[in-house]
Structure 1
Amino acid sequence: MISPAMSSALGDWLDHKRALNGAASNTITAYQTDLLGFLNFMTSYYSGAQGLGPISRITVSDMRAWMASERSRGVAARSLARSLSAVKSFYRWLADREGFEPTAVLSTRSPKFQKKLPRPLAVDAARAMIDTVQLQAGEPWIAARDMAVVTLLYGCGLRISEALGLIPADVPLPATLRIIGKGGKERLVPVIPAARTAVNAYLEACPHPMDADQPIFRGSRGGPLYPRAIQIVMANARMQLGLPATATPHAMRHSFATHLLNAGGDLRSIQELLGHASLSTTQAYTAVDTARLMKVYDAAHPRAHPRAARQSPTIPDLP
């Protein structure tokens, strides 16, 4: 149990993240879960409700005890690193507001973990996946639905949440689709004819009415379609095709980026299509080599232009 004052502070911080940082609802929920878990541990650890006073006096040893407890519960290093990041963010905000020293929390080292590199499918495997997902359904309209969703992931590079968030106002799909992605960031995505055809085929087959405030992709009973359903369909399809476990809905987005790059697409343009804030994230998606990344960086950076170089002669050129 945490004190009313701490509960109020946590609520204010979540509102702050939601309003100023544009955090998505799923991200806010994750922040809340991480912070409540941490605060509840400290309550148990000290055998008393944690208010603003006790929380401001947390030591390095306390932080180590929490992290050890999380690992003993089987929490993976990646998940613990995410929780620690949320705790640090909250403490940085709370320390500014309440005027205490947060060094003990902010200096806590994040656990090391191996970053999972995305594994795009080969071109023929991506096409086979689109053809095979429709074979998993017992009803024609569900087959058309699954094919339409996976085609959007691969053909337009959408996140699964973005594809499943399309509403009747978005169809028929235009030549360029306006997508609101993570953090409320807006981007324009070209729609290939195959994606438009697949979505139209689904809409014609779907037996459920298209209410204006409901997403177009529906579950078998007419409710919103959830990502888990597509994950299961793709899992069945990849087993049928003999593809690895990495052939997930998100891998179709990776495949979109990699295949577009291999076909001559510009890395910076692909970054914009995917909605990435950092070019290095796009690099990871496409497994592009560092030399190619630096070529794009040099071309885009102000220091690469002669005029900028003359204005800043003391700054060395990039390698």
Structure 2
Amino acid sequence: MADLDPLRLTLEPALARAIEDWTAWLTHERRASAHSVAAYRRDLASFLRFLTEHQGHAPGLEDLRRLERGDFRGWLARSSERGLAAASNARAISALKSLFRFLAKRGLVENAALGTLRPPKLPRSVPKALTAAEAQDVVDEAGIYAQAPWIALRDRALFMLLYGAGLRIAEALSLNRGDLPAGDANTMTELMVTGKGSKQRRVPLLPEIRDALADYAAACPFGAGKEDPLFVGARGARLVARVAQRELARLRALLGLPETATPHALRHSFATHLLAGGGDLRTIQELLGHSSLSTTQRYTDIDSAALLKLYGETHPRAKRIGSRRSS
């Protein structure tokens, strides 16, 4: 196919045919997108170019069989020297492994060395937080498309728990009526949440969240028993995450928010805004239910990056420094 041609390499015919068969398999059997197939072919082109330079001749199936771990590591080192990001290297390894698995299943090449190669460690990403104004808009407009007043109250209470108390969407949807503290909105000061690994934690409830929960609980027309689900769908069954995600997608369109504005992003906004406001990292760890402080510390990287960006864009001295550098 033409999109492997940019490498301008000569391959032994058997390898060239195998690559075309692999590409067809990705497209028609694996149903990989055209974008993914093109990316895999570019990654393979990079590897075959390196192999041609390394060996001094057109590579073939037998050359792939003889490759050792050091050969693959040399290719990755060359890619890194040329500025290829860790994520790109990881994808390239995935492309090679896909090809080699394909060749092995067809009895063309067996090579165990590639299986011992670990992809580069990728930085753990955190969903982009909304601004405080954006998060408030989500809460304020929640339920605008609801078909019944009680559903509007449900959506508002749910999104307030995610942003105002930092719950995971799964934690909020797993709540039962009996998990709500007894009493009225004035006495519901804490919520007992069961998180990952069945670990329980106490989450303080702001007055606005208490009011939202109390209003929804009173208006919901379905079961009020202790074992009944707190958040329910239109027919009374426990609400599923897909419904909340769909509602937030509609709000994104209404409010002009990015696609990163998801229920999960509301929880991350809770943590990021607490940290920006001077919140203690250990306290935030407890509120989020993180078992490891290192997980919570990811927010310090994001907050520092945001502060640096803000400094660069707004601080007068930063602007002067930038203008001197460009002159």
TM-score clears 0.5: yes
In the alignment, does 2:161 pair up with 1:147?
Answer: no
Of 225, 250, 259, 1:236 maps to 250
Provide, for residues 200-255 of structure 1, a one-character-per-residue CA deviation record: whole Å limited to 9, x for no partner.
11111111122332211110011110011000000100110000000000111011
Give 1:183's aligned residue: 197
Aligned to 1:289, the other structure's residue is in SS state helix
Structure 1 residue 117, shift from structure 2 partner: 3.0
Give 1:208's aligned residue: 222
**2-structure distance, mates of 1:273, 1:177:** 11
Q: Counterparts in 2 of 1:123-134, with a 5 A limit?
A: 123-134=132-143
In the alignment, does 2:303 pair up with 1:267?
Answer: no
Of 172, 180, 190, 1:171 maps to 180
Report if aligned partners of 2:141, 2:251 keep a CA contact under 8 Å in 1: yes
Task: Return closer, same or farther for 1:128/1:264 CA change in 2, 3 Å cut-off.
Answer: same
Q: Which amino acid aligns with 1:289?
A: S
**2-structure distance, mates of 1:204, 1:284:** 39
Structure 1 residue 110, shift from structure 2 partner: 4.5
Q: Which amino acid aligns with 1:116?
A: S
Task: Return closer, same or farther for 1:196/1:105 CA change in 2, 3 Å cut-off.
Answer: farther
Aligned to 2:203, the other structure's residue is in SS state strand
Aligned to 1:239, the other structure's residue is in SS state helix
Q: Which amino acid aligns with 1:198?
A: A
**1-structure distance, mates of 2:242, 2:146:** 15
Aligned pair count reads 197
Structure 1 residue 172, shift from structure 2 partner: 4.1
Provide, for residues 165-198 of structure 1, a one-character-per-residue CA deviation record: whole Å limited to 9, x for no partner.
1112122473122222111222221111111111
Report if aligned partners of 1:172, 1:196 keep a CA contact under 8 Å in 2: no
Give 1:257's aligned residue: 271
Report if aligned partners of 1:234, 1:249 keep a CA contact under 8 Å in 2: yes
**1-structure distance, mates of 2:222, 2:152:** 15
Give 1:199's aligned residue: 213
Give 2:297's aligned residue: 283
Q: Percent identity?
A: 49
In the alignment, does 2:167 pair up with 1:158?
Answer: yes
Provide, for residues 132-169 of structure 1, a one-character-per-residue CA deviation record: whole Å limited to 9, x for no partner.
12202121010000000000001100001111111121
Report if aligned partners of 2:276, 2:303 keep a CA contact under 8 Å in 1: no
Report if aligned partners of 2:162, 2:267 keep a CA contact under 8 Å in 1: yes
**2-structure distance, mates of 1:274, 1:108:** 35
Report if aligned partners of 1:231, 1:249 keep a CA contact under 8 Å in 2: yes
Provide, for residues 99-131 of structure 1, a one-character-per-residue CA deviation record: whole Å limited to 9, x for no partner.
xxxx99994525776753321110010000011
Report if aligned partners of 1:118, 1:284 keep a CA contact under 8 Å in 2: no
In the alignment, does 2:236 pair up with 1:222?
Answer: yes
**1-structure distance, mates of 2:113, 2:189:** 53
Give 2:127's aligned residue: 118
**2-structure distance, mates of 1:280, 1:219:** 36
**1-structure distance, mates of 2:236, 2:282:** 40
**1-structure distance, mates of 2:117, 2:197:** 27
Give the superposed CA RMSD: 3.1
Structure 1 residue 279, shift from structure 2 partner: 2.1
Bigger radius of gyration among the two:
2
